[in-house]
Amino acid sequence: MKLAAAAVLIRQRVPPLPTTPQSRSRNEQTVLMDTTAQRIRDSVAFIERSSPLRPKIALVLGSGLGDFADTLTGGFSLRNADIPHYPVPSVQGHKGRIVLAEVEQIPTVVFQGRVHFYECRSVDSVLYPIRIAYALGARILIITNAAGGVNRNMNPGDLMAITDQVNMMTEKVPEISFEVKSQFPIYDKTLLTVAQTVSLGLHIQLHKGIYVGVQGPSYETAAEVEMVSRIGGDAVGMSTVLETTLANVLGMKVLGISCITNKATGIGSTKLDHQEVTEAANKVNQEFVRLLRGVIVVLGRG
């Protein structure tokens, strides 16, 4: 009895061990992931009630590149604003719609526009479409963006297949930890080969290069562009790198295509603005649509 009483006194007098920053961080991350998972379930339930289609391929359309979704017929179109918890883009050239349709009988979910980190300061919002795509069943991700050309051999209106990326956004994907890491390469070599083969068959020039992702929203200075060039970057933009990293962690196969909409500062002689970006993307839309459709057909039947 005396020993038991002593043990009770010890438990009463000894304060609990303080939580470390690392344990607090893990606990906060667990709560965040649980909350995110519930929001994803709510969003997916709404989408699945609206459309019976279960996509095999997910396609994210970047700035000014949303016209591909407008070519699809017989599908279901949902406004982001109508889907529970879904982030709504505010930047010109991003319509903010999800289209579920068959592309040459290949079930596909198309995200017509994205939310950038500089709009919301939320990694969770940036990654939301990828989590939705995966939850709907897509296991192939084709991600596109409008980018500034750093490689002097590329001109506005050119298309570039992404071979690798540099994340200079100073943000990370929550799923990545010491236990869970992304797999390399992020961009699937087989999908890259498919894109190159399709582009050759359609007589569309498709460059290859490394994409560098930065936070934005301001365009890069000439000195920053020089830095991007020195670390091996061929194109620079304000999206993509977080989304592809998450897709890779989830086990999705990833293909990335950049539309070079302008020569980056110090490479070109004109002053940059977002209208120029969307106008350049619009000019290449026809070729872009043909390439995407051809790639989806091959991947869907593979």
Homologous superfamily (CATH) of 24-301 is Nucleoside phosphorylase domain (3.40.50.1580)
Residue 266 predicted with pLDDT over 50: yes
User: What does the radius of gyration of the chain's CA atoms come to, in whole angstroms?
Assistant: 22
Residue 140 exposure: Cα atoms within 13 Å on the Cβ side:
23
Could you give the C-alpha distances from 205 to 175, 201, 276, 288, in angstroms and in order?
36, 10, 22, 11
Residue 196 exposure: Cα atoms within 13 Å on the Cβ side:
12
More confident residue, 180 or 85: 85
Could you give the C-alpha distances from 69 to 54, 193, 288, 292, in angstroms and in order?
17, 24, 12, 11
Average pLDDT over residues 62-71: 81
pLDDT tens by residue, 27-37: 555 655 678 89
pLDDT above 70 coverage of the chain, percent: 79
Q: Which two tokens stand for residue 168?
A: 């200079």
pLDDT band at 170 (very low <50, low <70, confident <90, very high): confident
Residue 11 predicted with pLDDT over 50: no
Residue 271 has what pLDDT? 62
Alpha-helical (H) ranges within 51-188 are 67-70, 117-120, 123-136
Residue 180 predicted with pLDDT over 80: no
Residues in the chain: 302
Which residues are designated catalytic?
63, 94, 116, 118-119, 146, 238-239, 262, 274
**Domain boundaries along the sequence of the chain:** 24-301
Contact (CB, 8 A) for 147 and 261: yes
Residue 95 predicted with pLDDT over 80: no
Residue 275 predicted with pLDDT over 80: no
More confident residue, 26 or 21: 26
Sort strands 57-61 and 106-112 into parallel, antiparallel or unpaired: parallel
Average pLDDT over residues 142-160: 93
Average pLDDT over residues 166-178: 84
CB contact burial 1-37 (16+ within 10 A = b; e otherwise): eeeeeeeeeeeeeeeeeeeeeeeeeeeeeeeeeeebe
pLDDT tens by residue, 191-243: 999 999 999 999 999 999 999 999 988 888 889 999 999 999 999 999 999 99
Give φ, ψ of 169 to 5 degrees: -90, -5
Other residues' Cβ atoms within 10 Å of the Cβ of residue 298: 17
Residue 239 has what pLDDT? 94
Does the N-terminal peptide bond of residue 84 adopt cis geometry, omega within 30 degrees of 0? no
pLDDT tens by residue, 105-148: 999 999 998 899 988 899 999 999 999 999 999 999 999 999 99
Residue 277 has what pLDDT? 64
Residue 23 predicted with pLDDT over 70: no
- How far is the C-alpha of 219 from the C-alpha of 240, rounded, in Å? 16
- How far is the C-alpha of 187 from the C-alpha of 209, rounded, in Å? 11
